[in-house]
Amino acid sequence: MCVRDLTSPRLLYLKAILFLLLGGLAAALLLADSPTLRTATLLAICIWAFSRAYYFAFYVLERYVEPPRRFSGVLQLFHSLLRRR
């Protein structure tokens, strides 16, 4: 089965909005389940850390570590890094 790349700007914006809604809903449910400052702080740290890891994987590695390479996703990135060793 061949999966085509998503290229429609409208669908890409819809996908981004759905990701934001999903993340917001998950955060709201976590805070509703355990409404403490500790939970909110740990959630904020988790979001920040994963955002920085994503930035590192898809900006730093593409531009500084393996400049000619472009990665279509996390699995391709990990496969490339494992193959390098």
Residue 62, amino acid: E
Of 10-24, 39-53, 65-79, the range with the lowest mean pLDDT is 65-79
Same domain, 31 and 65: no
Over residues 65-76, mean pLDDT? 70
**Residue 57: how many CA atoms within 13 Å on its side-chain side?**
17
Over residues 69-84, mean pLDDT? 74
Same domain, 44 and 84: yes
Residue 42, amino acid: L
Quote the pLDDT of residue 1. Answer: 57
pLDDT tens digit sequence for 54-70: 888 777 777 776 667 66
Domain that holds residue 20: 1-35
- Reading the block at residue 40, the tokens are 């909110």
Instruction: Considering only residues 80 and 47, tell me which one the structure prediction assigns the higher pLDDT.
Output: 47
Same domain, 29 and 49: no
pLDDT tens digit sequence for 1-31: 565 777 888 998 999 999 999 999 999 999 9
Q: Are 75 and 83 in contact (CB under 8 A)?
A: no
Same domain, 44 and 29: no
**Confidence (pTM):** 0.67
**Could you give the CA distance from residue 77 to residue 69 in angstroms, rounded to a whole number?**
10
